[in-house]
Structure 1
C-alpha cells in the first residue's frame, strides 16, 4: 500500500507559500506601516496629545518602531517632556506630558550656553572633556568654549578651563572634609570627564565599565573611586575595594553609607541598566 506524504510544513506549522505569497506579504506589511505612521502622526502631532488613543492592535505593531523616534523628535522640539515614571521610581518607562515651548536660539548661542553650563558644573575641564561630552567636532568645541570666556588653568592632563567666577573660588583641598559616597551606575560624577586618571586608576577601568563605556555603581572616598558596590537579591548591599584595603576611617565611612542607603532602599530592588563585570559578581 502506498502512503501519501504529508504536506511539508515550515517552523511554526506554516505551509510553504507560492511564488506570489512573498510579494503579497510585503504589500500587506507596507500598507500596515503606512497606516501606522499616519495614525501615529495624527495621534502625536498638533493636538495629538489629547486625541483618542490609537487602536490597541495597531499600536502594538507600530509602537516598537515609531514610539521612540516620534517621542524623541517631539521632546527635542520641546513639545513634550518626561513626567513621572510608570509604576515605582525604579521604572525605566515614563509618562509624557505637554511642555512649554522653548525659546529659539541660534545654533552658535545654544552651543555656547551648553558649554558654559558644562564648564560651570564640571570645571576645570579640557577641550577633550567637552568634546567627548557633547559629541561636537574639535572646531565647534573650541569655538563654543572660547565664547564662554573660560580662563585657562594648569592641569596634569594639560590645559584646563574654568569660568572666570570660579577661578578664585576653589580653595584648598585641605579645607574639604573627607567623605564617602556610593554612586549609582552612569552617575555624571564618574562619566563627566574624558580624562579620569585623577580619580580612577586606569588599571580598574575594565572592572568598572561595560564594553560601551558605561560605568557601574562606584564607591568613592576623598574624591577618588576606591571600590564598587551592588545590591544582592536579598536586598543586602555588598562592596569590594579595588586595590589595597582602605584604612579604618575610610571603611567606617563606607559602611555608614551602606547602612544609610540600605535603609533608604528598604524592600526596593535596583538592577543597573548597564551591568559591569564587578557589579555582576558582587550581585551574585
Structure 2
C-alpha cells in the first residue's frame, strides 16, 4: 500500500506565512511583487487592492501603489485589472494576464446574447439598438481617451436608460443601461478600467480603450494557472482549485494533472503540491508575524476548505451571507480576529482567539502601521460582515 506524504495543518500555515508575505521578514517593496506572490488581488472593492498590497509591503504609500497600478515602470502598467476567477474582478500581473484570462474566459458570445435579451425585456432594445449603443460608446470613449460611465452616458443617451434589476426581490434596484453595455465591452477586451475619479477608495472608475490580450490555448492556460495556484496556495485539494478558479471538476482534474503535481495527504483528504515544494515543507517555521488584511483579501478567500487557518466557529462573525470575508487579524498563519475603522479614523479590533502577549503586541504594531497608511482616509468595506459592523460603530476593542 502506497502512503502519501502527510502535510500537517501547522506545516501548511508555515508555508502560508512565507508564500503570502504574512510576516515582516517576508515583506516586499512593490505592489506588483505582492500580486506576483498571490497571482492576483481581489479588485471588486477598490480599497482591497491597496490594503492587500500595503499589508505586505515594507514601506507602503497610496501613491506608490497607485503608480504601479496605473503607470508602472516606464509608463507600462505592471498590473492588469480583469474579470477572471469566478467571474470576479482581480488585479493580476501583466505577464500572467493572458493566461489567466484564457484559463477563466467567459463565453463572450453568450454574454452578449444575455445582455441583449436583458435589455430587450427591460427596455425594448432590439439587436440594432444594442449594436448602435455599443458602437457609439466605443466612439465616445475613443474621442475622450478616458471617461467614467456617467461621462459616457452624457455622450450616448441610450446609456442613460434605466432598468430594474432583481425585480420583486428585497434587493431590487435600478441601474443604467451603461452598466450592462460596458460590462460586455470589458469582457470582450475592448475597454479596461483605469484610474478612478476621486481617491484610491473610489469605485467610480474611468474606462479607456484597450487592445484584447493575446490568446493562449485554453488547456495550456489552465495548466499554467493551476501551477501558479499550487505554487502560491498549495498544498490544496481539487475542490479548492475548482472553487478558486470557477472550473468544473473535469477541467480541474485535467489542469492539476498537467502540472505534474504530487499527491499528498491533508486533514481533509487528498491534496496536491508541486514536487519542488515538498522539500520546503520540511523546513523549520519562520518567525511568527501579525498582519491586518482587508475584506476580500486573496489569502482568506484562497481555499474552499479553511479549517486549517480559520476556526469554523468564527465563520458566522467574519463572513457575510454570500461568503465574502470581512477585514481580519492574523497571527502566525491563522485568523485570530477582525478589525474595522471608526468614522474618526481609529482602528478598532477584536480578537476571537487569545494568541498571547507577543501576538497582542504585534497586532498593536500592525494597527499603528495601518493607521499611518490610511492617514485621513476612511474605508468602509463593500461587503459588511457582522463583526466588522459592530466594530465600526464602537463594539469590542
Distance 1:210 1:61 in 2: 32
Of 244, 260, 263, 2:369 maps to 260
Say if 2:152 is the partner of 1:59.
no
Gap runs ≥5 in structure 1: 1-25
Query: How much does 1:210 deviate?
Result: 0.3
Partner of 1:247: 356
Partner residue, 2:327: 217
Are the aligned partners of 1:85 and 1:91 in contact in 2 as well (CA < 8 Å)?
yes
CA distance in 2, matches of 1:267, 1:73: 36
Q: Which of structures 1 and 2 has the bigger CA Rg?
A: 1
What is the distance in 2 between the residues matched to 1:119 and 1:79? 31
What CA RMSD, in Å, does the superposition of the two structures yield over aligned residues?
2.6
Could you tell me whether the CA contact under 8 Å between 2:337 and 2:351 is conserved in 1? yes
Q: Distance in 2 between matches of 1:48 and 1:182?
A: 42
CA distance in 1, matches of 2:281, 2:186: 36
Equivalents in 2 of 1:248, 1:208: separation in Å? Answer: 23
Divergent runs of 4+, >4 A: 33-36, 51-54
Q: Normalising by structure 1, what TM-score?
A: 0.81
1:99-248 paired onto structure 2 within 5 Å: 99-174=210-285, 176-243=286-353, 245-248=354-357
- Measured against aligned partners, the alpha-carbon deviations of 1:239-262 in whole angstroms (never above 9, x if no partner) come to 00113x331101100000001111
The answer for the alignment partner of 2:52 in structure 1 is none
Judged with a 3 Å threshold, the aligned counterparts in structure 2 of structure 1 residues 165 and 100 are, in CA distance, closer, same or farther, namely farther
Residues 133, 156 of structure 2: 8 Å contact kept: no
Contact 1:37 1:66 in 2 (8 A): no
Which range moves more in the overlay, 191-200 or 50-59? 50-59
Contact 1:119 1:163 in 2 (8 A): yes
Q: What is the count of residue pairs matched by the alignment?
A: 255
Task: Compare relative contact order (CA 8 Å, sep 6+) and give the higher one, 1 or 2.
Answer: 2
SS in 2 for 1:120: helix
Could you tell me the TM-score, scaled by structure 2's length?
0.59
Q: Residue 378 of structure 2: SS of its match in structure 1?
A: coil
1:280 and 2:389 equivalent? yes
Q: 1:59 to 1:121 in 2, by over 3 A?
A: same
Q: How far did 1:238 drift? A: 0.5
After superposition, the C-alpha distances for 1:15-64 in whole angstroms (9 at most, x for unaligned) are xxxxxxxxxxx9xx536x7786344211245x563147554654322693
Give the distance between the partners of 2:284 and 2:316, measured in 1 at CA.
Answer: 29
* Alignment CA distance shift 1:99-1:171 (3 Å): farther
**Does 2:99 align with 1:43?**
no
SS of 1:97 mapped into structure 2: strand
